[in-house]
Amino acid sequence: MKLNIRNFIIFLIVLGIVFIGIISSGKINFGKTIYVVSPNENIEESVSEEYSADNEKMEIDENSKIAVYISGEVKTCGVVNVNVGDRLIDAVDKLGGLTENADLNKVNLAIKLEDGCHYIIPKKGEFTQEQERNKFINTNRNNDSINSAKININTATLNELNTLPGIGNVISSRIIAYRKQNGNFNSISDIKNVSGIGDKKFEAIKDLITVN
């Protein structure tokens, strides 16, 4: 009887050891799932995240910089890299500042810079591109004003033609008749084709007439 009890105890001990071993080996699943990431996956994920972060940082750095060309009255002319949103004065400062001959009345140092643009600092006494353009516009306006004050011999009425020196009702009527018969005058000198208008009379009216 004692032997049977002893054998039973030994059997329980062996069974317990086997049971513990099975649990330790993971062969029994109690319903809890654990996802284990291998060392290689950790490394790849880490490298991928670092690469992505570096690329993002590089893109931000590249997008925040622009290049502009500054010439004229600056101490060092050339291409300079500046931040997006910088002003002309920022680029000028990076090139050593303005020269003594720079005309500050003709340049806006507060203007925002644009990528790839060329900015010229004008010299005292020289015209800027804008001034040249305004001069051209004003000249054209003056010419237009002068032309508008002249009498268009292609459209002038009898009364308008009569205001010309040496031109009365008779010659004015001839001008209108010529115009109807031959069409518009191509140039002011064509008016000499009208009977009664010679070189002398043409010289007296040439600065007062136009065909435009």
Could you give the CA distance from residue 3 to residue 29 in angstroms, rounded to a whole number?
37
Q: Which pLDDT belongs to residue 168?
A: 86
Q: Which pLDDT belongs to residue 40?
A: 45
Phi first, then psi: give them for residue 99, nearest 5 degrees.
-85, 170
Cα 205 vs. chain centroid, distance in angstroms?
50
Q: Which pLDDT belongs to residue 20?
A: 74
Q: Which pLDDT belongs to residue 31?
A: 45
CA distances from 152 to 19, 148, 162, 193, 201 (A): 120, 9, 13, 16, 17
For the record, the structure tokens of 8 come out as 């039973």
Are 82 and 90 in contact by the 8 Å Cβ rule? The answer is yes
Q: Which pLDDT belongs to residue 56?
A: 57
Q: Which pLDDT belongs to residue 17?
A: 79
Q: Which pLDDT belongs to residue 134?
A: 54
Top CATH class, 149-210: mainly alpha
E strand or H helix that includes residue 169: helix 169-182
DSSP string covering 117-129: -EEEEPBTTPPPH
Q: Which pLDDT belongs to residue 57?
A: 54
Nearest residue to 208 (alpha-carbon basis) of 192, 193, 190, 188: 188
Q: Give the residue ranges of the chain where pLDDT is below 70.
A: 1-4, 21-63, 127-148
Give span(s): CATH 1.10.150.320, the chain.
149-210
pLDDT in tens, 192-211: 999 999 999 999 999 999 99
